[in-house]
A and B are shown apart, each in its own frame.
Chain A
Amino acid sequence: MKNYSTIGSRTFTILNYLFLSLAAFACLLPLINVLAVSFSSKSAAAAGYVNLWPVEFTLDSYVYALKKQEFLTAFLVSIKRIGLGYIINMVLTVFIAYPLAKEKSEFSARNIYAWFFIVTMLFGGGLIPTYMVVRYTGLIDSIWALIIPNAVPVFNVILLMNFFRGLPKEIEEAAYIDGCDYWRTLFKIVLPLSLPSIATLSLFVLVGHWNGWFDGLIYMNSTSKWPLQSYLRSIIINSDTMMSASDELATMRNVSNRTFNAAQVFLAAVPVLAVYPFLQKYFMKGLVMGSVKG
């Protein structure tokens, strides 16, 4: 029971609501501002008139972005990457998590496999040796370079494994008695029971692949094979467009591209915005499942 009747307590409640609302608004402010810029005219943006609402509303920047060949190509690469990457990540996650969820008495190699995967979370070869292996296995300039090296998302495997372990054992035992083998049990019993958890992981994987940019940058020599985020990085965040205060030319270029860049940034954020409501629904569960497990 909490006491809300004193004056001090009421004042606190009001200030608390005020403060948290302002803080949340401050979090959104940069996004709103850039969104407004993307819908404004070039001259208004360059003159710095745009705050939270578009000035001289126009869709020019979006039209220009969607007509630009490089943007569309990169968008398609990203779609392809998500499709392939999602299937491979999820299949491997399920196929590894299920056996690892077994007790050692049932699957005697369980701990060996588990440590085999855990070790990769603790130590790695680092950037250059990994790059060399990708190169030696002939993946440079292939879409598979964005998918295969991280085909096993170990963190997700652990989340799903913990979820499987939480399922009542009697259900699986009943299935064995009825003559199901491990494959049938996995597909007919365990997976249908795990849909919420699969949904959480799906969203993690989809967002992860959509947001990936570094592998595209280093593994793709030809820029036409870059996924969207790598392409965006190259046009928006390049050290030469990061104008220094003295660099007139760079400043000019950046300002004239301002609305166009803003539009591309938002087009790249749209898919995340679109899945966010679903993400939001499952996320709480997934996050709690991952961080405060018993």
Chain B
Amino acid sequence: MISGKKLRQLPLHIMVIPGVILTLIYHYIPMFGIVMAFQKFVPAKGFFKSKWVGFDNFEYMLNLPNIKTVIYNTVFISIMKIIVGLVVPVVFALLLNEMRREKYKRTLQTIIYFPHFLSWVILGGILVDVLSPSSGIINKMLGLVGIDPIFFLGDSKWFPFTMVITNVWKNFGYDTIVYLAALTSIDMALYEAAYVDGAGRWKQTLHVTLPGILPIVTLMTVLSLGNILNAGFDQVINLYSPQVYSTGDILDTLVYRIGLVEAQYSVATAVGLFKSVISLVLILVSNKLANKYAGYRIF
């Protein structure tokens, strides 16, 4: 009987195996490739024959003159992104929810989440143009109200905020839809009951709508905590430049420059490992919290 059952399961194994092999090679072997962080890695010698150096690379990393700044930038940019990226979509979802003309509402949704589907290369090309201090339309508009041109991408004072705002521009439409979906699932009877009790529009929002989406808002926020060391590689690397490294350089861009531009493979791996380990802990903790308070499970 047992062997019959096993035989019957064979096709299922055959279906999964190709994916397992590819994942093993391109995702699991790199995990073991992390040994590079403890070696003086030379590509020609490979993972096995390169010289072991213990924690030298980590020591080197901690002595990099800019490492503290980079960690600070990473955390600062991503926390700002989490906060703004929470408030803006919730506000938009609440306001859109008050709209009664379905067609117009859907048109607005379509518009606001369009940038989400464009890559940071394309958006970067667009932003470099519109944010230019000499010819960009944004500074031209600021000029109309008497504000001097601001070098959004080249001034280290402005750069982190430019990242936060442009990131919201790309992504808030997407999150707005998640919250809107949660809003539409609120029981209409609750609104009726509130209305009968004399609650106006504002009170209904406060006592029915907000509590109704609170669970999903909490869930999304808790889950985003796992991303605190991901300040947005795709975005930053396409928009930063040496003059804003002091406020705009983040861990991922540092790894890229040290590793693939300067070819200091082991140091870059050490920095990367430092980041992945902390991220892993954050993800596990945030998933645990999400599970405890919102009953969320990865699968």
Contact = CB atoms under 8 A, between A and B. Distances in A.
A236 B121 contact: yes
A215 to B, nearest CB: 11
Interface stretch (B67-75, B78-86, B237-245): B237-245
A288 B185 CA distance: 11
B115 interface: yes
A144 B111 CA distance: 35
A236 B120 CA distance: 12
Interface string A1-20: 11110100100110011011
A101 to B, nearest CB: 10
B241 A239 contact: yes
Interface in A77-133: 92, 95-96, 98-100, 102, 106-109, 113-114, 116-118, 120-133
B20 A129 contact: no
A117 B122 contact: no
B61 interface: no
Contacts of A63: none
Contact of A129 (B30, B132, B234): B30
Contact of B125 (A150, A237, A292): A237
Given A128-B265, A236-B128, A239-B241, A265 B299 contact: no
Contact of A292 (B36, B181, B241): B181
Contacts of B128: 236-237, 242, 254
Contacts of A280: 110
A182 B11 contact: yes
A6 B201 CA distance: 10
B20 A245 contact: no
A152 interface: yes
Contacts of B195: 1-3
Contacts of A242: 128, 153-154, 241
Interface string B107-142: 010111011011101101111111011110110100
A146 B151 CA distance: 35
B12 A107 contact: yes
Given A125-B31, A128-B269, A237-B121, A113 B280 contact: no
A30 B137 contact: yes
A195 interface: no
Contact of B12 (A99, A121, A239, A243): A99
Contacts of B133: 245
Interface residues of B, number: 98
A56 interface: no
Interface in A135-150: 135-137, 148-150
Contacts of B29: 125, 129, 133
Contacts of B16: 95-96, 99-100, 113
Contacts, number: 281
Interface residues of A, number: 111
Contact of A37 (B96, B129, B153): B129
A177 interface: no
A273 B109 CA distance: 15
B255 interface: yes
Given A237-B125, A265-B122, A124 B268 contact: no
Contact of A109 (B13, B36, B121, B298): B13
B221 to A, nearest CB: 13
Contacts of A28: 111, 114
9 contacts: A3-B201, A46-B135, A109-B13, A120-B27, A133-B25, A212-B119, A237-B128, A245-B154, A268-B121
A96 B177 CA distance: 29
Given A3-B195, A127-B260, A288-B178, A92 B18 contact: yes
A113 B137 CA distance: 52
A132 B242 contact: no
A279 interface: yes
A1 B192 contact: yes
Contacts of A130: 26, 30, 33
B225 interface: no
Interface stretch (A64-72, A166-174, A255-263): A255-263
